C-alpha cells in the first residue's frame, strides 16, 4: 500500500544523506517509490525554490516567503504527490508542510493560525503517514553545510532562528508520537544509517 513519508530537520541535519539510505532500502525491497522535495518537486516549484533560496537584491518579506512555499507546495501536491500515491507508490519527500510551521511560524514569527488556514485550504486531509525528524543542535548542521560550500538565503539566518525551528520540531514530534520518529544526527554517519535501517524495518 502507498505510503507518504516526510523527512524533516534543521539545516544540514542530514536529510539528503538519509534519503539515499531510504532509497537503497526501498530499491532492495522492490518497493515502487518516488523521491521528491520541498521547496521543489515540479518544474515550476523548482523555479520557486530558486526565488526562495537565492540571495536577491530585494528583501523577501516573511509573508511573501510563506505564500511562495505554499504556491510551490500546491503544485507539488497536485502534480506529483497525489498522483503517485494514487498509483500506489511510496512518496518520500525531503520536507513538507511541517517546515512551514517550523521556519515561517516559529522561525519568522508568523501566527500559527494563518499557516493553519493555508494548510486546511490547500492541503486538506493529506498528511504524511510517517515523518522522520533528524535532530541535532543547529550549530552542528550549520558547521557541516559550511564545510560543504556557500550558504543559501535561509542558511544565513542567525542561530536563534534555527534554535526556534529545532524547538518547534521537537514539540511537534512530542505532540504526534505516532507519526514522528526522531533520529539523533549528532551521531556518526554509520550509526545514523543503522538507526534509519531499524526504523525502516519497523515500517514494513
Ligand atoms: N524551508 C523549507 C522553509 O523555510 N519552509 C518550508 O516550508 C520548506 C519546505 C531549503 C530551505 O527551505 C526552508 C528550509 C531550508 O532552509 P533544503 O533544501 O531541505 O530546504 O535545505 P537544507 O535543510 O539546508 O538541506 P541541506 O541539503 O543543506 O541539508 P541536509 O540534506 O539536511 O544535509 P546533508 O545530508 O546534505 O548533509 C550535510 C553535510 O553533512 C554531512 C553530509 O555528508 C554533508 O556534507 N553529514 C554528516 N557528517 C557527519 N555525521 C553525520 N551524521 C552527517 N550527516 C550528514
| Range 55-62 contact pairs with CB under 8 angstroms and sequence separation of 24 or more | 55/152, 55/153, 55/156, 56/153, 60/153, 62/104, 62/108, 62/109, 62/110
CATH of the domain at 29: 3.40.50.300
Å from CA of 81 to ligand 1 middle: 21
φ and ψ at residue 185, rounded to 5 degrees: -100, 20
Atom of ligand 1 nearest to the CA of 10: 23
Q: What is the pLDDT of residues 29-69, one digit of tens each?
A: 999 999 999 999 999 999 999 999 998 899 999 999 999 99
- Which residues have CB under 6 Å of ligand 1? 9, 11-17, 38-39, 53, 69, 94-95, 99-100, 103-104, 144-145, 148, 154-155, 185, 187-189, 192
DSSP code at position 60: P
Q: How many domains is the chain partitioned into structurally?
A: 1
pTM for the full predicted model = 0.97
Strands 4-9 and 180-184: unpaired
Enter the C-alpha cell of residue 142: 550549520
CB 90, CB 3: distance < 8 Å: yes
pLDDT of residue 56: 86
Amino acid at each position: 500500500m502507498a505510503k507518504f513519508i516526510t523527512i524533516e530537520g534543521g539545516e544540514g541535519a542530514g536529510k539528503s544523506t538519509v534519503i539515499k539510505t531510504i532509497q537503497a532500502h526501498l530499491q532492495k525491497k522492490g518497493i515502487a517509490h518516488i523521491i521528491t522535495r520541498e521547496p521543489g518537486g515540479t518544474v515550476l516549484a523548482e523555479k520557486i525554490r530558486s526565488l526562495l533560496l537565492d540571495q536577491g537584491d530585494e528583501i523577501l518579506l516573511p509573508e511573501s516567503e510563506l505564500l511562495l512555499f505554499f504556491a510551490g507546495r500546491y503544485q507539488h501536491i497536485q502534480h506529483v504527490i497525489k498522483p503517485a500515491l494514487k498509483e500506489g507508490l511510496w512518496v518520500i519527500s525531503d520536507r513538507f508542510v511541517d517546515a512551514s510551521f517550523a521556519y515561517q511560524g516559529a522561525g519568522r514569527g508568523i501566527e500559527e493560525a494563518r499557516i493553519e488556514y493555508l494548510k486546511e485550504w490547500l492541503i486538506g486531509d493529506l498528511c504524511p503517514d510517517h515523518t522522520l525528524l533528524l535532530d541535532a543542535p543547529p550549530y552542528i548542521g550549520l558547521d557541516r553545510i559550511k564545510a560543504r560550500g556557500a550558504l543559501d538565503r535561509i542558511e544565513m539566518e542567525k542561530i536563534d532562528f534555527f534554535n526556534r525551528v529545532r524547538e518547534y520540531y521537537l514539540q511537534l514530534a512530542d505532540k504526534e508520537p505516532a507519526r514522528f520518529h526522531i533520529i539523533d544526527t549528532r551521531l556518526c554517519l554509520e550509526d545514523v544509517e543503522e538507526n534509519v535501517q531499524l526504523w525502516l524495518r519497523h515500517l514494513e
